[in-house]
Structure 1
Amino acid sequence: MKSATLKKRHFFWILLVLALMHLSQLMAKNDAQSGGWTPPIEPPGSVIVTPLSESSPVQRPVNRTAESPKRLATAAPATTTAHQLPPPTQASGSEAALRQAIDQWSQAWGGQAIPQYLGMYASDFEPPKGLSRPAWVKQRTQRIASKKSIRHDIQNLTIQFNASQATVRFTQIYQDERVRSIDRKTMHWVWRSGQWQITREATD
């Protein structure tokens, strides 16, 4: 009896060991299958779409190349302004400036703008007929102010330059409510203190 009982126990332990070994092999196989899994390889040209949660931040690449020209363009005007030089001072009057001065003189006379008209004459202007400067100013003021209207036109203008001086000749057409005259006039202008001024004049 004892021998039969021992055989049964021995057989039971053998079955138990075999069952444990089989179970261990099954577990090892499952681990190998789960650890060696690889994602499926998509064919060329396919797109894998992965859903994002609302809380997931989306990072967009910053275009550094596009920002750089903007910064340079913003800084460039300041550099240009800092190095901008003032226009050079004009040493002598141009012909265009002289023509503009002659036109202003004619308009001041025709418009009876006496201060502007007299302001076109230099301080060393030589009045005709030996008049003094105060006597000439008084005479011209009375003659211009006494007229109801004056029309003064210039034709056939010629200009001769000599450094900062110029000789001007033209046909002068003068008319007021009583007199109309056409004369040839010669004037000498000088560039002084940044403007053209009259130093002499004569009517033929």
Structure 2
Amino acid sequence: MLVAPPRAAQDHAARAMEPWAWRDIGGAASSQGQAAALSMQPGWLKKRHLLWFLLVLVLMHLSQLMAKNDDQRGSWTPPIEPPGSVIVTSLSEGSPSQRSASRASDTPQRQATSAPATPAPAAAITATRQQPPQASGSEAALRQAIQQWSQAWSGQNMAPYLGIYASDFEPPKGLSRTNWVKQRTQRITSKKSIRHEIQNLTVQINANLATVRFTQIYQDERLRARDRKTMHWVWRQGQWQITRETTD
């Protein structure tokens, strides 16, 4: 008669076989040398394989994106702009030398914008020309005119000499202006050389009229004379002109 083993002996045998049974289910070699099917793997192992597969896909996708970005950075070329254009990029903004150059180029533009407008020199010259002549001449201008008259006489230059006499000049001895011009031209141009000097000059100015007195020294190749001369001048058309003269 067979007697069943005790309950405690059965539980001990079951516990001793549990590791071998799990290994066969997980795909290890069984007692017959065969591997367990994938469908018979536990759920936690299936989830682990799925996570590894997803991680591999994510890493492959990231590597493709990085390779694409590297290609784009390597093939980038700056845009072609017309001469004089300034291209501002993040690189130029980060460079201290380029930031200082940009500030230096902006400074003249700001100064030009804030600088007040000044009249053009041509406009100033035009405005000066349009001003009416002075009502009366100065003593300095009169003394200069006297020196020009004396130098024209010494240089025998008839055009500037006669040009200082006014159109209403009163020739001496009742001569007409035409006859007086002919007489003065013949006397002055016929001399080989003339020296004319002015000494002890006095000037009196009253508005646009002036009276001049001086000692006149005249000399040519034949004659030397020292006379006292009185001349009357008028300020007309922006210059001093002779209206009358007498010699003592």
Instruction: Tell me whether the two structures share a fold, i.e. TM-score over 0.5.
Output: yes
CA distance in 2 between counterparts of 1:83 and 1:135 reads 46
Moved more, 65-74 or 115-124: 65-74
Aligned residues: percent identity? Answer: 54
2:173 to 87, 110, 129: 129
Q: So what's the TM-score if we normalise by structure 2?
A: 0.58
User: CA shift at 1:23, angstroms?
Assistant: 3.1
1:176 aligns with 2:220: yes
Question: Which one has a larger percent helix, Structure 1 or Structure 2?
Answer: 2
What is aligned with 1:20? 46
User: CA shift at 1:73, angstroms?
Assistant: 8.9
User: CA shift at 1:94, angstroms?
Assistant: 2.3
Question: Which one has a larger percent strand, Structure 1 or Structure 2?
Answer: 1
1:89 aligns with 2:115: no
Give aligned pairs, total: 179
What is aligned with 1:80? 120
1:119 aligns with 2:163: yes
2:153 to 109, 120, 141: 109
Amino acid at match of 1:144: I
CA deviations on 1:86-144 (whole Å, 9 max, x unpaired) are 11232232223222211111111111122322222112212223333333323322221
- Give the unaligned 5+ runs of structure 1: 1-6, 33-51
1:163 to 171, 190, 207: 207
Select the structure with the greater relative contact order (CA < 8 A; seq sep ≥ 6).
Answer: 1
User: CA shift at 1:27, angstroms?
Assistant: 6.4
C-alpha distance 25-134 of structure 1, shift in aligned 2 (>3 A): closer
Q: So what's the TM-score if we normalise by structure 1?
A: 0.68
- Give the unaligned 5+ runs of structure 2: 1-20, 26-35, 59-72, 79-86, 94-101
Moved more, 104-113 or 17-26: 17-26
Give me the CA root mean square deviation: 3.8
